Structure 1
Amino acid sequence: MNQAKAAANVFAPVQLAGASLRNRVIKTATFEGMTPKGIPSDALIEHHRGIAAGGAALTTVAYCGVSPDGLTFEDQMWMHEGIFDRLKQLADAVHAEGGKISGQLSHCGFFSRNKPKNIPRPRGPSVTFNHYGAFSGLPIGGAMSHADIEKTLGEYHDAAALLKRAGFDAVEIHMGHGYLLSQFISPYSNKRTDEYGGSLENRMRLPLQVLASVRKAVGEDFPILSKLNLADGFRGGIKIEDSIQCAKLLETAGINAIVMSGGFTARTPMYLFRGGSPLKQMIQTEKNPVMAFMMKIGGPKLFRPSKFEELYFLDKAKQMREAVSVPLVYLGGVSSRDSMVRAMDEGFDFVAMGRALIRDPEMINKASADGASYPNQCDHCNLCVPSMALPGGVRCVSLKGGF
């Protein structure tokens, strides 16, 4: 594809399953910190309304927990009737700006510091040390029983049905970043010896069952995306060769698009972000003094600054592109018009971005109008990450302050 055609494709209308999108740009799910006590706030509605008004075709609401025991911490929302009206207001606000809206269906697995009632400890594929929850009284993550798995499948089904009924146009199943489904996929965290462990096909069993359950809830012409790691970013985790096999299984099972990502929150958070380290500000906003102390000791290893480069997942993503035909969403270092165009030129179907749209929600309108002259001034400091813990939620700290 030549550059002129690729540029035209970025901003041209496109169909994704049953959804008509005005262009190929997706606001990826980045936790907003705008759901106090699990309730979608006016700030959350305004955040996504602004993204839609700025020209993005599809904006993704982050961390739509499928159950109260699937939350990493207390102020995340889970999908239940009590928030239906607010979800509908959110969808209506995005639609009023000509955009479409997706919800990221998520479950944390063992990676949690949340203590819902009647749930003694978080559960994932295998018994493991839960360092994230250790200083909140949850040091051990349990292994999900078959009954737990069946219950969780029903929760994904019901959460997807709720979002569709509230007017959402798509759902994204979170299979990356070291949360529940990623924990099942990765050999690092999945040590099971039953039909859910061992071979890659077995480790993919639960993600594929979740996809089938969600499909049953939303119907055949409703877009289902999955966020999938290209690599976990450490020895013993998923590598690109494994990810390609995962993608082939998802393609066969009827996924509508795959959002390619990377990194394992518990091990390699900067593998996803790249750029400056937000550790100092994360410690500053940490309310648990013991956790803050431990972050001072262990955090420098986890949150090392790393060089930011445009399209930093491109080499691995191109290997995925060569292996599958399913629509692929390129994510990772898209922060300019040129990088959007190059992603199209490399054969990807959509581009997704987070930090660049937090910096400038009107980026897509400006880039489509001004062409190559558009400058997005995100400096990849990553301070938007700890800003989600501030009153009012995520923001570009360079523009709006906060620390």
Structure 2
Amino acid sequence: MTVPGSAPTPPDPFAPARLGPLTLRNRVIKSATFEGVTPEGLVTDELIAYHRRPAAGGVGMTTVAYCAVSPEGRTERHQIWMRPEAVPGLRRLTDAVHREGAAVSAQIGHAGPVADARSNRLPALAPGRFLSPLGMRMTRAATAEDIARVIRAHAAAARIAVESGFDAVEMHFGHNYLASSFLSRRLNHRDDAYGGSLANRAEVALGIARAVRDEVGDTIAVTAKLNMDDGVPGGFWLDESLQVARRLQEEGTVDALELTAGSSLLNPMYLFRGEAPLSEFAAVFPRPMRLGIRLAGRRFLHAYPYEEAFLLPSARQFRAALSLPLILLGGITRRATVERAMAEGFEYVAMARALLREPDLVNRMAEDRDVRSLCIHCNKCMPTIYTGTHCPLVGPLAGPPAPPLTGDGGRPRPHAS
């Protein structure tokens, strides 16, 4: 009950909550984290087990990452891309998660310049032509026809998600994937309808959101993962991100925004914070590359101090400016932090690394106010994307087998889903 003149009582984070047309059993979402267990680009038993664990452990919804909308939109060729052949496996996955009592979302997107062109054997699309540090290939400037095709592909991917039993889709507008790269002044130097002003640079993201909403209506929930800032000089920043968020709110194309940061292309650790595991990354590459990673890797993997709820200071500006439901991401490891997010007006929280170490953390938090994650933010889980993503301090938890690591560009690249 709210006393007149007093602040409203924050919602119980462990009680059911609405997300668009969907009712979640609680307000904790397992955020998208690349799983590294789809060597044929299709669902595997290991992928199903990966998502059953946090579902059984109490999350309201788990997010499958990363479901590309087209072959060249994968970050590397072992990833799932949304097509009819993928539906039977995706249906097995959604059924398994539902049996555990959780909802399940598909993160759909196009990697753009974050795609490894060597691995995909297809050019990486971008706002313009430049050398991608991930695939060490020149990107191809997307034409207006490419952009229209990619927008249609997002709508088709959302339809595949509905047919596969997903409860929600999350559109990827972060980390300098395609839509995010168009938002960035640093990467987008176009002088056509998709460059220059923010209104033009935002049209790829806004067009995708319109197409997806038109395709699915209120059949499932629609969310977007939006960069608050890229963490690179000259990149997308808070003032422009707020304007894009307002447009998404005004157009009614999303049921919630998950607020993120960083560039998989130029500065991935800006999202993760904590230690940068250079030695562990070097160890998974062939011997000739190891020395280069040890010597030059710090230019790409910068280390940032870890703080609980490290994205909250930026996210507060979005909460103050928007009525749209918001999902707080970044350093959520304690029940007190979850409750703090609710008290500050965030409708949901998203967790990732902490659930790799303790898939049952949400259930334990709901039962005991003093429980906190055992995650030490060492980020040594990041290099395990090459062998099935897991916390190396506890092992692979039923051990997903490694996808083949070939010498012809077949390795996944470090990126933030």
For the superposition of Structure 1 and Structure 2, which TM-score range results when normalised by the shorter chain? over 0.9
Q: What does 1:369-380 correspond to in 2, within 5 Å?
A: 369-371=367-369, 373-380=370-377
Partner of 1:85: 88
Shift of 1:186: 0.9
Q: 1:298-351 CA distances to partner (integer Å, 9 max, x unpaired)? A: 211222332111011111100111111100000011011111111111110100
Task: For 1:229 and 1:118, locate their aligned partners in 2 and report how far apart those are by CA, in whole Å.
Answer: 28
Task: For 1:187 and 1:291, locate their aligned partners in 2 and report how far apart those are by CA, in whole Å.
Answer: 32
Q: Which runs of 5+ in 2 are unaligned?
A: 400-417
Partner of 1:148: 146
Q: 1:193-250 CA distances to partner (integer Å, 9 max, x unpaired)? A: 1111111111110111101111122113521110011111121011111111110011
Q: Give the conservation status (yes or no) of the 8 Å contact 1:234–1:268.
A: yes
Paired residue total: 392
Q: Give the conservation status (yes or no) of the 8 Å contact 1:66–1:156.
A: yes
SS state at 2:170 partner: strand
1:345 and 1:131, CA in 2 relative to 1: closer, same or farther beyond 3 A? same
Shift of 1:128: 1.3
1:237 and 1:351, CA in 2 relative to 1: closer, same or farther beyond 3 A? same
1:233 and 1:56, CA in 2 relative to 1: closer, same or farther beyond 3 A? same
Shift of 1:292: 4.4
Give the partner amino acid of 1:80: R
Partner of 1:329: 327
Identity among equivalent pairs (%): 39
Task: For 2:17 and 2:357, locate their aligned partners in 1 and report how far apart those are by CA, in whole Å.
Answer: 26
Q: TM-score with structure 1 length normalisation?
A: 0.93
Shift of 1:291: 5.2
Q: Give the conservation status (yes or no) of the 8 Å contact 1:3–1:345.
A: no
Task: For 2:289 and 2:156, locate their aligned partners in 1 and report how far apart those are by CA, in whole Å.
Answer: 34
Partner of 2:108: 105
Shift of 1:99: 0.4
Partner of 2:407: none
Pairing 1:11–2:6 present: no
Task: For 2:158 and 2:357, locate their aligned partners in 1 and report how far apart those are by CA, in whole Å.
Answer: 30
Q: Give the conservation status (yes or no) of the 8 Å contact 2:61–2:102.
A: yes
Partner of 1:70: 73
Pairing 1:397–2:399 present: no
Q: Which runs of 5+ in 1 are unaligned?
A: none
Shift of 1:74: 1.6
Q: 1:112-135 CA distances to partner (integer Å, 9 max, x unpaired)? A: 22457884x21111111112111x
Point out the more displaced range, 299-308 or 179-188: 299-308
Pairing 1:40–2:43 present: yes
Task: For 1:291 and 1:227, locate their aligned partners in 2 and report how far apart those are by CA, in whole Å.
Answer: 33
Partner of 1:388: 385
1:69 and 1:367, CA in 2 relative to 1: closer, same or farther beyond 3 A? same
Q: 1:60-105 CA distances to partner (integer Å, 9 max, x unpaired)? A: 0011011111112121111111111100000000100110000000
Q: TM-score with structure 2 length normalisation?
A: 0.90
Task: For 1:280 and 1:181, locate their aligned partners in 2 and report how far apart those are by CA, in whole Å.
Answer: 32
Task: For 2:7 and 2:361, locate their aligned partners in 1 and report how far apart those are by CA, in whole Å.
Answer: 20
Partner of 2:344: 346
Q: What does 1:22-61 correspond to in 2, within 5 Å?
A: 22-61=25-64
Partner of 2:415: none
Of 226, 247, 254, which residue of structure 1 is paired with 2:245? 247
Q: Give the conservation status (yes or no) of the 8 Å contact 1:111–1:141.
A: no
1:37 and 1:114, CA in 2 relative to 1: closer, same or farther beyond 3 A? farther
1:46 and 1:195, CA in 2 relative to 1: closer, same or farther beyond 3 A? same
